Structures are given as C-alpha cells and as structure tokens.
Structure 1
C-alpha cells in the first residue's frame, strides 16, 4: 500500500505549537510580544537512532530489518539513519522541528510480525521523536493491522549540539514494538546533524530589526534546540565550534577500535632461533566471538542468560570475544598448511524455567585448519547434555594462502568464518552461510617465540560473565541442567535453539513470545496527534 505522507500538516502544527509556547513563556515573564516569532527554513539534516540495541538484536535473531526510501542502517545490525531532514528553526524559542525521509521495516515470519516506521520527526520544543507506524501481527493465520500517525516513540533529553542525546521509550513504543517492558526504558542515543549546506544565505526572518543577529540559517549558525527560557536565551552555537556527529555515523562517540593488530612483545633476550619450515606447534591462541548478535541475545532480556568461560579460555570485557589458548598441532609454511587445537570452553545458557534451561550450549576443544588460506573451525558441542565431538561449525577463508613466520610466530587475523550446515543445527536460528565473527589465529613455532600479548584482535581481558546474576555456567563440560537433545549423524538436534522457539520450557517460551508477538491490536492510544485504526484480514 502507498506510504502515507503527513509532513506538511504535522510540521505546520508543530511550528504553531512552538510559536504559541514561546509567546506564552514571554508573557509569563512580563514581556509583551509585538510580532510573530521569526522562523528560518532548515534542510539537509540527518537523524541517527538505533531505537534500542536489545530490540535490534531480537529482530536480527528471529527476522530482519529492511531500510529504503532514504533510510539506512549501520553495519553489524547498527543504528538507523533517516535523511533529507527539512523543517524550521524558531529564532525566538531556539527550537527546531524536522521531518525526515526513510522507511524502516522490522519483520519476522517465524514470530508473525511486520512493523513499518515512516515520516520520522524530531521536535526539540516537545523533546520527542515521532513516526507513522504500521503494525501487522499474524496469530493463528489471522492478520491484524494497526496504524498510527505521529506516534510518540521516545522522549528526548535535548542538548544544544543535538549529539548523543538521551532517549526514553514511550508506552506507545512498547505497544507497537511488542514489548510492554520498553515503556520508560532507556532507548539508544539520538543524533541530529546537518549534512548539506544551501548555496545561498537564507533571508533574514520577519521581525528582525537592524543591528540584530541574522536569523539562524544552516550556513551560519547551528540551531539551538534547547527549551526556551525566555528572551535572554544565548544565541545559537556556531557549528564550527560545536560540530555534530559526522554524516551517517550511527554512534556519535564510537568506541575506539578494540585492537588493530597487537605487536609482538619486545624480547629482552636473544632473538629466537629460526623455526624450520615444518614441525610441531609450541603454543598459540585463537580469538573468536562466535557471533556478536548471539552473545547479545543470550544475555539480553529474551534469553535472560549468561556467558561463562572456563578451562583457560577468557572473554573480553563488555560481553566481548573469546580467547582460547595452549595450542598444539602441526604446521608447514612451504605448503601453507596448519592444524591447531586449543584449550578452553565457553558456555551459553538462557531461557531458564525453574531449574531447567531451554538453552545450555558449550563449545570446547576448538580446532582450526588452514590449507592454502581455506579451512574449517570445529569444536566439541554439548547441548542440553547431549555431546557431539568434532562438529565443523564454520568454513574459514583467510585473506592470503601464505603462512609466514615472523619471530617464530605465524599470525593470521581477520579470517572470515561462515556457518556450516552442521553449525546451523547447533545454533538453530542462523541458516547455513551466515557470516560469523572473524577468527584471529596466532601460533608459536618454537618454545622461545613470543606470542602477541592479547592473542589477536578482538580478544584479551579476563574471564567475564553476562546475565542477571553473573554466576557461572556449566563450565567446560556443559553438562545438562534440563531438557533433552538428540544427536543424529554428528549434528545437534533437540539441543539447538529452535527456530520457532517451541523447544523452550513453558515460562521461557512465554517470555520469548511476549517480546515476539506484537500486542495491543485494536487498543486506543492516548495522544492528541494520532489516529489509530485496526482491521482484521483472514
């Protein structure tokens, strides 16, 4: 169906409201307004907002996002960007009202929902972000559609530079996104930034007297979006002195690169003796995060679980990647071949129901092989007490087929990992061919060779856990604490996290369904600027 457009009427209403608020504020302070507030047109703005990271993780696990018509999404299931923002700046109240282009659809066939956001707007006077929302929920073959115009999705703690602003999700956001618990919860930070400049200076707005500051146009001054405190508000800040986030950046304050490839530690003794072209591996580390979205899902509000490492493995801080150590195996640099096994285990546990878990998965005894740059990554898998050894989880592809030793160490970082069919049965919700986290590999060829201090990018840090209680998991054995599993032909059956979630215990399934199935069809939402209608289709 055609996308409904309401920018003109909604923007006019917003401008009228902002003008009325400014006039009321001045009157309350004892000042008399003699003319309407001057308004300057704005254009070329972008809005970046991720809604909520846990929501993106959930949709990424069970469905997908689709962006179009000017909207975009950052890599790695990141924040969304809406473009071509236009609107007005009120020079009396120092507030802006902007409407953006872009269409965002989140959908999951498995959980029967499709939610579409269009006509996203930011109103600094009201301190909120709104959008037109269309929700289709399918239950038992019956589709129910609910639509709302200018639905308030979040309140915004507006700052002068409009960068990294704190957001709080509304009750309406919870109703449309399918999780009532979102009401009042912290959303992702919001950034509004100018990305283009007009070729000419906008004319001075009406009511500007000679000698006063020209109206704030996008080429001269950044609008001051802060709430008005009266006629003594400071002038808008200059964009050169308060730069906003760079265009298209989903995170105005991104974390630095966790590791750009550590350098080997400086040896205080003599250089190690040259290693032979082939032989036995003396030591080594493997860095791998499995998949970032899976780690987030396990410790997030749906699975409400924890990640635990044991047997010498460590996890980077912030629910980061894992490092497996004490490598053994063989290498042949002339042939470009390497086989290395690593010690350590990681356990993923979640969907608790009493003393049982719907998810209890342990990976241990990881083994990587490379031959001319291609290879595999395998592990012993224990899922809900059923163990299978040597499951090939991923196909590996290095950037080069060569294996070069430097200081007696072979280091191959950024090895692409792709989920195999057997791996897809282990993780359940990811199809074969899904890109997993990259693998970083370092092996020492002699006893006196020095490995990189953190064992490759994305690794390092001490043992870490995630989840509500922070307690340990099943450890290296991953012994079952509930549920059943079957093993057929070397692949994991009932122990996997089922695509439909039907293998979860009752309370856990209810929790997942509460976040998966869109609720509140036909409900009346209290907002002065929204109309809601519901209809059912067979």
Structure 2
C-alpha cells in the first residue's frame, strides 16, 4: 500500500473516530475553558467610512454603555470584555460592553451596533445590528488576521458589513486594524498568536463607494451586555514560581509558519485549482492563512542560546489535477527548528509525488535576538526570518530560487508541564513575497476559483474546515504574469511526474 493511500485511510479513520467520540469529547473541552475578563477592543471600522459619515453625510457617531470614540473622529473602543480561553484548542472568545449609534438625517440612515464579539478561532468580529426597526444578532462585520500580540491586527470587511454600511463596495475592503488588550485583572491571560501581517494603508476616502442609507430612520439600539458571574478559581495544582532551569527538555510548544503566502495563493488559485490540507496535529488559519504545528518536543539551553524543537503536524499542497491525479502533490511534516544564538535552520520531511526525503533543510533562520529568554516558563520567538535554501528550492520543484524570502516563523515552547502557551492560530504569513518578484508563482488577484479546503485538528480531536474564498479585484498585468508562471510550473511538474511513478 502506498504512503499516500495510508495517509488517506488514516485521515478517514480520524474523521470517523472524531464523529463517534464527539459526544464524549465535550466534557473535556468544557473543562479546558479558562474564564477571561477585563479586556478592551479598539476598532475604527474603516477610516474612509468615518470620514463619509462625519463630512459628506453630516452625520454623527454616538458611543454609549461603555463604548467611546477617540478624538478627531478616531477609532471606537468597547470595554468590559469577558469570555473564555480554551487551553486545548488555544481559542479565545470574548464579548464586549458598549454600543455605537451611527446616524445621518441628511442621508436618512440610523444604525445601532452592540454586543461586539471576537473569536480568535474563526478570525472574526461580530455585532448585533439594529436598522430599519429590526435587530439582527451576531452579524459578521470583518475577518481578522489574528496575531500573537493581538494588536494592530489586519481586518477585511465582510459582505454583511457592506450591507450594514450602505454599500456593497465595502465588501472585501480592508478595514481599520483591530487591537485587543487586557486592562484589568491580577493574572496575565493567554493570548492568541501568529505571525504579524503586513499592514496596508486604508483606501483613500475619495475612492470609496458612497453608502446609500435607508430612508427610514430606526430607533437607537439598546445594549444588552451579559454580566458574567464570578467564576471560582480552577482547582488545578499550583506551585510557587521559581527561577526556570537554564537547560532541559521542552514539554510542549507550537510553531506558526505560513511557508510562503504567494505559494498558498497559487495552490488555491485559478491556475493550480488545488487545495491545502492541514492534518496530524497541524491547523490552518482562517482565510487561507498560515499554519500552526503543535506538541513540541526537544531541548533548550538559555545560557548557550540553543534550541532544538520538533513539532507534530503535516501540510499537503495538491493542485493541477489531471485524470484524477495531481501534478502538484507536496507534503511537509515533522518540522524541526534548530537555533544557536539566533541563527539556525528549519527542516522537514518532504513527500513530493510519493518520493519521500527526510530532514530536508528548507530554510535558514535568523531571530531578532541571539538570546533565549523564558517568561512564565515559556520561551517565545516572533518574527524569525526564513530564507529558502538550495535544498528547499529543490523540494519546491524550482518554484522559487534559493535565497527567496519565505514567511516568517514564530514559535513558543513550554519548559515545564502545565505552562500556559500563547494560542497558535496561524496568520496571514505576510512576510513572504506575494509579488512574484522572486521568480515564483504570484498571489496577485489569483485566489479566485479555489477555496483552499483545509482540515485542522489532531487525529484524536475535532476536525474543522477553515478554508475560505478570498475576494479579488480586477485581474491586471501581475495576474497575467502569474498565469504565465503557472503554465511553466504545469509543464515542469508534468516532466517530473513520470520519474516519480
């Protein structure tokens, strides 16, 4: 039986097992939830929309019930955030107090937003929306590229947001950055983490579509924040904090890496028309985002500045289907990071069209600092740059030349049992080039036609589809270049395939 056939059977068995055990898994998931409180969410929706309301529509923004707006028609802040953090899935769910009324008598619209909610697992922000005399609960307003720091997170407005704001032209547009911070409470809370996205300036107000508000004003929305009863302190065993050992074994950990943003977009785009599947303990972030690999093992030495860590999980890229077979069929698994004083390598086992190569050094790594520092028995490294090696270029079939910038790497490893890890929810992998200037496939406007089906979760837990179509604009010269590059890739893969059969 082929390795690919064994993987398919294993995945099918995992799905069946997860379905059969779904009822019994619920108690353990509930037990893993940790109560959260004292958070604030700041989001401006979109700067050009605020300018439209305040200037052209001669309208007003009126925050109430715990919400506020920054000076000079700035962003909005919602307070009193409460919710839960699941220490098993590393998902944070928060609901915030406060409401926002948006009104323009000149353009005849009135909107009420309340019960603002954030879910790091879905990468989504929702709110109850009142307009035209009716209230709709939990309307998705934006997708969020979740980062480890949870500040200045990139957002994209949804189709529903376009309807709420009065113009379909807002659907898919870049929203204002979103930040969530903890403002109260004696204990630090765990926070979701991924590589930080590159930020893009908001679109100029002059290029935005003008909303066409409802002619029927509505009554103002009433806030209905849920007051959370005090939750008893979990009865987990606690020990007095002591200085961590300078060396020892890693007990757990996560690795966030998107491989390369333009490669993900190419695989799911109109040329390859493929899918990306995360399995065996790996997950993929919402919106064809980056991957999180879990259950780290290995060793560390903070005095010597060395870290060796291996992570569970696999990611499979499939595309260019012909007669039931894929010319592009690449799986990366058993990812390993080896660092000494901030420099090192990222390696993986590579399965290319059934030909398996173990411990291939895919990238050279360079951390921002040569030192390793433990906080609360966790070593965290963000924005570790990754550069494609010669072996890595070969593993990717020559899609990219050696020296190309890959997505940055972020990781967190626990030094003691029970140490709280930040959440690993992937990200957008914005560090990788998406412009095609490195000679590889380009992401420019090329994600239409392939949703990027992803399956996440380990084989013993729940499986979830997190793929998503990405809205695209008009195809331009860059997209045409991507199509040309894709045609060359198809030919190259077709030439290579007979040798691997």
The answer to whether TM tops 0.5 is no
Larger helix share, 1 or 2: 2
Please state which band the TM-score falls in when normalised by the shorter chain.
Answer: 0.3 to 0.5
Between structure 1 and structure 2, the one with the greater Rg is 1
TM-score when normalising by structure 2: 0.42
TM-score scaled by length of structure 1: 0.39
